[in-house]
Structure 1
Amino acid sequence: MVEKTGRPGYLQIADDLRTQIRTGSLAPGAALPSTAQLCQRYDVSASVVKAAISVLRTEGLIVGQQGKGVFVREDAAASVEAPAGTSSEVMEQLAQMRSTLATLGERIADLEKAVFQGPKRSR
């Protein structure tokens, strides 16, 4: 479960999954739990889980396979630290920006639905 520490939930989830990869609980080649399972485990929305997955993908720890799932990279142990020349602070800021953009996209879609519904036609 995500704690109310002031640290964004998606980063808490990314930290937990990264630790599981580092300790071998999620072995190289292993599938991550589904988005629905992670939502239930951490008691968060799908957008929060997707942002956490995006962080780990950016760090090179996981790879997605269309229609199959998300898997721990075979060489993930070597990639547990931030990529060479990239500070973890920059990676965190990038992840925060991606999350913010995803949230804004959802909000814009909701606004467009509300604005462009059009009047109901009487028959």
Structure 2
Amino acid sequence: MIEKTGRPAYMQIADELRRQIRSGSLPPGTALPSITQLCRRYDVSASVVKAAISVLRTEGLIVGQQGKGVFVRDPGSAAGREVAETSEIMEQLVEIRATLRDLRERVADLESAVFQEPKRSGERGK
């Protein structure tokens, strides 16, 4: 199922699992197939499958339970709401950083216009 498109295999697997979660094929509370099963299904190594799972965990779509497996997270749960809030905060931080970058550039432009470097002794009329 992994295609040679230039997109990393772990991202292709994460994309496929994400589609299954969002379509309801893997509803909240459902266990993901084991790493071994996913390795066989996609014909990849365990490290590739683990990287895909890590992507989905970071996105808040799944949660691991030690000794039990990896499960689709319920978006209505407290943990699911926390992930949504964190995502919103991250978006706001991106906007704030962009605004600060813009302000930094504007201040630098103003400073260079107002405070031109004084001529050093030994330099002639530049």
Shorter-chain TM-score bucket reads: 0.5 to 0.7
Partner of 1:48 in structure 2? 48
Write the mapping of 1:77-96 to structure 2, written as runs, cut at 5 A: 83-84=87-88, 86=90
Are 2:42 and 1:38 equivalent residues in the alignment? no
User: 1:72 is matched by which residue type in structure 2?
Assistant: V
Are 2:14 and 1:10 equivalent residues in the alignment? no
Give the gaps of 5 or more residues in structure 1: 88-123
Partner of 2:71 in structure 1? 71
Partner of 1:100 in structure 2? none
User: 2:51 is matched by which residue type in structure 1?
Assistant: A
Give the gaps of 5 or more residues in structure 2: 92-126
Structure 1 or 2, whichever has the larger Rg, is 2
Counterpart Cα distance in 1 of 2:45 and 2:65: 22
Counterpart Cα distance in 2 of 1:15 and 1:43: 16
Counterpart Cα distance in 2 of 1:27 and 1:83: 21
Shift of 1:18: 0.2
Q: CA RMSD in A?
A: 2.4
Are 2:24 and 1:24 equivalent residues in the alignment? yes
Could you give the per-residue CA deviations for residues 61-88 of structure 1, whole angstroms, max 9, x where no partner exists? 00000000000001179879x922557x
TM-score (norm 2): 0.62
Counterpart Cα distance in 2 of 1:64 and 1:40: 21
Counterpart Cα distance in 1 of 2:89 and 2:7: 24
User: 1:83 is matched by which residue type in structure 2?
Assistant: S
**Which structure has more RCO (C-alpha within 8 Å, separation ≥ 6)?**
1
TM-score (norm 1): 0.64
Partner of 2:111 in structure 1? none
User: 2:26 is matched by which residue type in structure 1?
Assistant: L
